[in-house]
Structure 1
Amino acid sequence: MPTTRTILPDDLYRIQCLAEPQISPDGRWAAVLVIVADKETDGYAYRIRLCDLETDNVVIVAGDRKKIRSLRFSTDGSILAWIESAPMEKERICVLRVDEALQIHSGAEPISSKSKYEGVVEPAIVHEVFTSERLGKTFEWYPGKQVLYIPVLHVTHSDIKVYQRPHYKSDGVGLVELVTSEIWEVQLIDDPSRSTTTCLYEHPDAIASLTVDATGKLLVFTSDSKDKEFFAQEIYALDLKSRTGTLVLEAQGPISALAFAPDGRQIAWIGHRGPRWNDITQALWLTDVHTRDTRCTTQAFDRPVAPYGLGDVRPLQAPSQLSFGGGNALLFLASDHGVSSLYRLAEAGGEPQRILSDEHPAVSYFSVSASGDVLFTGGTPTRPDALYHWREGKEKLLFDPNSTLFDEIQVREPHKFTFDARDHLPIEAWLMLPVGNRAHQEASYPLVLVIHGGPHNAYGYGFQMEFQTLCAAGFAVLYVNPRGSQTYGQSFASAVIGDWGGEDAQDLLQALDMVSANDFVDADRIGVTGYSYGGFMTNWLIGHSNRFRAAAAGGCVANLVSFHGTSDIGPVFGYDEHGTHVWDDPARLWQRSPIAFAKNVDTPLLLYHAETDDRCPIGQSEEFYTALATLNKNVTFVRYSQGSHLFLTQGRPSFRVDRMNRLIGWFSKTLNECSFGGA
């Protein structure tokens, strides 16, 4: 075995991330996106890894520094299609005949955990069949034929923008433009280089996702609604013969996944149906396309039908997913006590059953063949995602792209513990130490408490590079799922409503009390950090306690009054969380704002923020920094010139690496006696 070393922030450039695995309907082929941070361009390089599951031959389709998304096999499995995009260029649909790619490269290496990228597909056999300025999120194949249905978006740009509704900007998008849509049909003729295109339908709003029934008669799609508030979406059915669209389900909240049932009458979808969208657990619904009857199939499940706790290295956010596979059973991702896994719901309903083993506590994506075979990606706290094949209860590792790197570096396993809060609510937490075994520790370590965002997010069992690099630098790391976190049911998630900085803060402090009472933690050298709501809580804690020697708050909330009017979700989220609008009871919001307690802060604070964050606008950090600087407090403010609220995982790689190095440097300086790069 080679000599191991500690993990470094720069290792982000070597970690290969997997996304959007796809298994062909006949179960013969597998494809997955491989994404790597590119230091030269300060962006991301995309590849498609295509595998013959019978022969284990593998070929690679290089993205040539273009972004790739929405891998889709044709219903006969013969063609793989995807969307390519690049800055300042049109988006395009590309297709590849699978047998042609693998036949040409029949000498490609067998798939294994030690595979190297060889057998790159020649550009000449990748064909462009459709281009547009902007395509929808995904597209679909017509059942049994080589025909594609593609949503096309048309954006009206103007230097003078006029708005007449509350939702006028969106994080990661910016100011909302006027968008209309079309659905195009693309028929491939003999060879993929030839195609015919027809516009089937025009729609007055943005089309997000679509699905086609097994008979090819109906196409169902989700649409944003200009007439509704904040991320509300509707479901429409398009008759492909008459080309007429009909509203099936009125908007009440965001819809994150959509699939046609084999009977051709029902559609399954994941989303919210209620007055609150941010704290209500996402559920799985069935709607009859013809009668519009809708019922929740997971009402008794009381867990979010979405993946949580997947870690911080993947530059794509894994969405909610569902699929009908191997009959009428529904497969979907759900999260329970921090574990994200694959569940199966029988046609008759009942309790969803988890089908994957405990070896996969952080499943991020999956795809199902017609016979029920599953291709999925999953990780652990000590290893980023690998690719697996599940068949009849047996799991097989297909591809671990990071095995070589993780043979070289040391990582730490978290130790989970559970305790009862002051009101006897059970709380889960995890502790990571700079050494692998607490019984062999030789010193007391400084500790950093890390707080997740949301507050309705959750830590889980995905690979957290931030935690690992802090551990490598000599810090113990404590992370907690306090009340308000997802994956524990609706009442637990709602327990923070109207009480930010109350019992949620006590949950965190109680966990800290428990670990700091041990000899291996130096209670005099404790830091705190968090992002988004975690940034709010960091600011709140140092305004109410002097036990922290140092703090770092990223993408924070400091003033709930101004957040109400400047965040893209401020009016609806602020009301849902705090029970009031700013014009009704500003005092209530001010009393829960960290900036109201700025005079009490004596803890050195590092603030960092992306300048194009519309979820928690940079003005939040500006206000808190200005207050502390005017009061002559020890405060440093770092501004990143680009990036949405998700810049920690999806932003420029150099910013992500800088942020990790900056946290390590800040806590090393302020907590003393810690040097980066220790054993």
Structure 2
Amino acid sequence: MAESTRAHVLDDLRLVRSPSDPTLSPDGSRAVYVLREVDGDDNTRSLWSVGRDGAPRRLTRGRADSAPRFSPDGRTIAFLREGQLWLLPVDGGEPEAVTELANGAGVPVWSPDGGRIAFAAPVGGTAAGDPVVTSSLVHKIDGAGRFRGMTSRLHVLDLADRSVEQVTDGATFVGMIAWSPDGTRLAFTDGLAIDRAAPLHVLELSTSDITTTGDGAVGGVAWIDDEPLLIATPAAGVHNNVLVRDGKPITAELDRNVMPGGGGYPGALPQSTGSALLFCARDNGCTHLYAYEGGSIRKLVGGDHVVSGLSVAGDAAVVVVSTPDHFGEVAFVDTATGELDFVTSYVEDFTDVRYARPQARSFTISDGVEVHGWLLRPPHTTGPSPLLVDVHGGPHNAWSPVRDSVHLYHQVLVEQGWSVLLLNPRASDGYGEEFLRGALGGWGSADENDFLEAVDALVRDGLVDPDRLALTGYSYGGFMSCWLPTRTDRFRAVVAGGVVADLSSMSGTSDVGSMLARFEIGDVGLLRELSPVTHADKVRSPTLVLHGEADDRCPVGQAEQWYHALLACGVETELVVYPGGSHLFILDGKPSHRLDYNRRVVDWVVAHTGGRSADDDRS
């Protein structure tokens, strides 16, 4: 723990400034990125620029500017504002809107010659308030809600005359886009693919012919030379994404999941330096940067680093990276050595704050499986402390040891003398294909002992007080925060967030419910047996349930079912619903909601185990 003058408090959440989505100028000298800040009860996003001299400069003053992309000649930045595509001259001048589409535009992708910009955009749909009719399996998505008959089509903006042309039709919901190097073709993924057979689509612009390639589920695309490079699960039953080139997986030997990036899942699309292909993959919970060159793979940025953004120009590269001491910073990468040159220092906003650094721990479970994680522990503590077990989501996600602004309650509890266990149980990402598949068909039942035996080990080591144990988690962690109390009464307090209580109803109401039922559970007969609500009569632990009201991933009905089941069983319980909150509101929701979530976790666990509230004054 760093020596400084004060402890972290939950209100520090409002002070965190987070960079993301970097784009590198063609000459490799300057990066433009999105900076998220808190203004009142809003999250604002603006574009900033930084060179190798490390002097960030603000470029825009919009409230929600995102997705900056340098033009091939480096003179213009395309970006999104208020749902439309804008252009910003690099040498000065005001940004200009270049689209006025009824339903907005998507992330801009420049053509190689700089004369056109491709993007996906919603088309069709009914008016708000009209009846919503659907015949599709996927008809809503978390964060956007019901499609109301809308779909996503590929569009091209011609910068010569500012005309916009829709260039695809048909059934495919256009997702990720990439130009061929000669500018004659556009490759795109199916943004709503929920099965293991979702090929890449390639549009020939001169003829409008569309061909498909890729046998597995394609989730991302880039072009290398004249061939599309796929991020895909290459075969049925395989869960690790790999890079596929010319029909052959080129990263399978790594046995790690290639990470294209996304909400709650750090990483970035692969990009070529000319001599090497850079990509992100998760290893031991951390998202690292790798280089594929000459048929071999080497790690460029490893260790306790999480890479969550990448842009390449020639042999230059820039990333957004987090470390145990940094929430997130922009850094240039030496593509030969992997050395990082940090050019922002947003962590300096917290130079007066002491904080706990997670310590790596491993546990061998009784069936021989080794699980890995981290323990946050108060400094100078020698005896047993109260313990919070925090379960990550996914289940194919992972904790890492980097500094965490989302779960500031960890630091507040450590300051009050608690330990916090961040375990990556079987099914966590970054430990190989076999481990990733470790809970298929056995949510809860397959991984429960990973948690219970890890706690037993900490008790045996004299680090944890067995009478002061608490449990929390979100999403899949919310599922486990419902499941584990049906298996043991050792937890004196439970906080279940973004919960899954009934797998049967979840499969028909979640935006990805049918996929989860098919690929994660498999046997329909297991849906009831593996549902916590089936076993609610065994719960004794006081339980706080926290949930976003607009959550389409784990619908709020899951929280209501669990809350009412516990009430019926006489368990002390409380339900808190956050209006307008999507599934990812704890990452990107209203600051007041994120702060309230953190505060309630602290207050509930200390109230039921003994200790101070989140509002207690600490020096």
TM-score by length of 2: 0.92
Q: 1:126 to 1:161 in 2, by over 3 A?
A: closer
Deviates most, 245-254 or 420-429? 245-254
Paired position in structure 2 for 1:284: 243
Secondary structure (helix, strand or coil) at the match of 2:245 reads strand
Paired position in structure 2 for 1:117: none
Paired position in structure 1 for 2:419: 476
Paired position in structure 1 for 2:43: 44
Structure 2 counterpart of 1:326, which letter?
G
Q: CA deviation at 1:619?
A: 1.3
1:354 is the counterpart of 2:292? no
Paired position in structure 2 for 1:92: 84
Paired position in structure 2 for 1:153: 122
Paired position in structure 2 for 1:121: none
Q: Is the 8 A contact 2:215 2:235 kept in 1?
A: no
Structure 2 counterpart of 1:298, which letter?
T
Paired position in structure 2 for 1:259: 222
Q: Distance in 2 between matches of 1:321 and 1:553?
A: 33
Q: Is the 8 A contact 1:608 1:621 kept in 2?
A: yes
Secondary structure (helix, strand or coil) at the match of 1:399 reads coil
Secondary structure (helix, strand or coil) at the match of 1:597 reads helix
Per-residue deviation, residues 123-182 of structure 1 (Å, max 9, x unmatched): x53222333233453222222334323333313125223332322222222223331524
Aligned 1:13-52 pairs, distance under 5 A: 13-39=14-40, 42-52=41-51
Paired position in structure 2 for 1:534: 477
Q: Distance in 1 between matches of 2:564 and 2:313?
A: 56
Paired position in structure 2 for 1:333: 280
Aligned 1:436-475 pairs, distance under 5 A: 440-441=380-381, 444-465=384-405, 466=407, 467-475=410-418
Q: CA deviation at 1:413?
A: 0.7
Q: Is the 8 A contact 1:230 1:569 kept in 2?
A: no
Paired position in structure 1 for 2:230: 269
Q: Distance in 2 between matches of 1:536 and 1:448?
A: 16
Q: CA deviation at 1:320?
A: 4.0
Q: 1:252 to 1:150 in 2, by over 3 A?
A: same
Structure 1 counterpart of 2:403, which letter?
F
Q: 1:647 to 1:56 in 2, by over 3 A?
A: closer
Q: Distance in 2 between matches of 1:316 and 1:79?
A: 30
Deviates most, 561-570 or 619-628? 561-570
1:564 is the counterpart of 2:499? no
Paired position in structure 1 for 2:208: 244
Q: Is the 8 A contact 1:45 1:63 kept in 2?
A: no
Q: Is the 8 A contact 2:448 2:484 kept in 1?
A: yes
1:573 is the counterpart of 2:571? no
Q: Is the 8 A contact 1:458 1:481 kept in 2?
A: yes
Structure 1 counterpart of 2:84, which letter?
R
Alignment: residue pair count: 607
Aligned 1:95-494 pairs, distance under 5 A: 95-98=87-90, 100-101=91-92, 124-157=93-126, 159-176=130-147, 177-187=149-159, 195-199=161-165, 201-204=167-170, 205-224=172-191, 229=194, 233-240=198-205, 242-249=206-213, 253=217, 255=219, 257-262=220-225, 264=226, 266-275=227-236, 280-287=239-246, 294-306=247-259, 318=266, 320-327=268-275, 329-346=276-293, 348-350=294-296, 352-356=297-301, 358=303, 361-370=305-314, 372-391=315-334, 392-393=336-337, 394-403=339-348, 405-435=349-379, 440-441=380-381, 444-465=384-405, 466=407, 467-494=410-437
Q: Any gaps of 5 or more consecutive residues in structure 1?
A: 86-90, 102-123, 189-194, 288-293
Q: Distance in 2 between matches of 1:673 and 1:125?
A: 54
Q: 1:643 to 1:230 in 2, by over 3 A?
A: farther
Secondary structure (helix, strand or coil) at the match of 1:132 reads coil
1:636 is the counterpart of 2:574? yes
Q: Distance in 2 between matches of 1:267 and 1:170?
A: 27
Q: Distance in 2 between matches of 1:179 and 1:246?
A: 18
Q: 1:18 to 1:648 in 2, by over 3 A?
A: same
Q: Is the 8 A contact 2:322 2:329 kept in 1?
A: yes
Aligned-pair identity (%): 28
Structure 2 counterpart of 1:349, which letter?
G
Q: Distance in 2 between matches of 1:518 and 1:678?
A: 29
Paired position in structure 2 for 1:501: 444
Aligned 1:584-603 pairs, distance under 5 A: 585=525, 588-603=526-541
Q: 1:146 to 1:472 in 2, by over 3 A?
A: farther
Q: 1:168 to 1:250 in 2, by over 3 A?
A: farther
Q: 1:363 to 1:57 in 2, by over 3 A?
A: closer
Secondary structure (helix, strand or coil) at the match of 2:536 reads helix
Q: Distance in 2 between matches of 1:76 and 1:219?
A: 20
Secondary structure (helix, strand or coil) at the match of 1:659 reads helix
Q: CA deviation at 1:500?
A: 2.1
Paired position in structure 2 for 1:61: 59
Q: Distance in 2 between matches of 1:274 and 1:460?
A: 28
Per-residue deviation, residues 364-415 of structure 1 (Å, max 9, x unmatched): 1111111x11101111234201111122423211111121x22121110111
Deviates most, 647-656 or 567-576? 567-576
Q: CA deviation at 1:511?
A: 1.0
Q: RMSD between aligned alpha carbons?
A: 2.5
Secondary structure (helix, strand or coil) at the match of 2:547 reads strand
1:80 pairs with one of 77, 80, 86: 77
Per-residue deviation, residues 563-605 of structure 1 (Å, max 9, x unmatched): 2222222223113222222xxx2xx332222122222211111
Q: Is the 8 A contact 2:69 2:77 kept in 1?
A: yes
Q: Any gaps of 5 or more consecutive residues in structure 2?
A: none
Secondary structure (helix, strand or coil) at the match of 2:165 reads strand
Deviates most, 13-22 or 208-217? 208-217
Per-residue deviation, residues 519-551 of structure 1 (Å, max 9, x unmatched): 442221110111112112121211121111111
Q: Distance in 2 between matches of 1:545 and 1:420?
A: 20
Paired position in structure 2 for 1:115: none
TM-score by length of 1: 0.84
Paired position in structure 1 for 2:68: 71
